[in-house]
Amino acid sequence: MAIILPPLPYGDDALAPTISATTLQTHHGKHHKAYVDKTNAAIEGTDLAAASLEDIIAAAEAKGDKGLFNNSAQSWNHAFYWNSMAPSASAPSGDLAAAIDSAFGSLDKLNEELVAQGTAHFASGWVWLVAKDGKLAVEQTHDAATFANGDAKPLLVIDLWEHAYYLDHKNLRPDYLKAVTAKHLNWDFAAENYARESNWTYPA
């Protein structure tokens, strides 16, 4: 069963002007699609052909298959990223809001940490909000590295690769990060992930 390219959970222009329709069409329809297509080509006819994307990522990492890992992990990261964004930001509530206050002091402080770590990250990668060891933390990963599997539970992610923001913000990654954290983080999705017993899974 082939890995699918999930549709965007909103219209192409839903995140504009922070993320333009042109950026979303290119990012989702070309970059994400290429990762999915390359993953499917790599697993065709193998014992991973019917595996979940999470199992493909784990198997590729265990085998040291960098090509398959990069494409499968990037497929997962991008789907998680689309869901981490929303046309307008909601506000954290309940258990998640309490956890944010406990770990960071306030939502504003958390957003400042996401912007700071995302700005400081060198080259391509991702900045995540995760639940780890009983509390929340902001973590960075390089290139295709992912929290699809593992002990830390991902709640939200922001893409730091240049193709995520360069058409709209040129080299000003901090502007992109400030706009995303202020206007477009999907706190309902984060709350669902926080309440899950296991990590979010890629749509089949």
CATH code of residue 135: 3.55.40.20
> CATH number for the domain including 40?
1.10.287.990
Give the pLDDT confidence of 131-154 residue by residue, as tens digits. Answer: 998 899 999 999 999 999 988 999
Phi, then psi, of 18 in degrees rounded to 5: -60, -50
Instruction: Give the mean pLDDT of 100-120.
Output: 98
Indicate if 138 and 80 belong to the same structural domain.
no
Q: Are 98 and 189 in the same domain?
A: yes
What the block records as the tokens of 127 is 């900045």
pLDDT, position 134:
86
Residues 156-194 have pLDDT tens digits of 999 999 999 999 999 999 999 999 999 999 999 999 999
The pLDDT mean for the chain works out to 97
In a domain, 1, yes or no: no
Range of the domain at 142: 94-195
Residue 55 lies in a domain: yes
Same domain, 100 and 188: yes
Is 0.95 topped by the overall pTM?
A: yes
What's 171's DSSP letter?
A: T
> In angstroms, what is the C-alpha Rg of the chain?
16
One domain, residues 26 and 108: no
Within-domain flag for 5:
no
The set of residues, in sequence order, having a beta carbon less than 8 Å from that of 29 and lying 6+ positions away, is: none
- pLDDT interval class at 2 (50, 70, 90): very high
* 11 domain residue, yes or no: no
pLDDT above 90 (res 62): yes
Q: How many domains does the chain have?
A: 2
Residue 100 falls within a domain, yes or no?
yes
Is 1 a residue whose pLDDT tops 80?
A: no
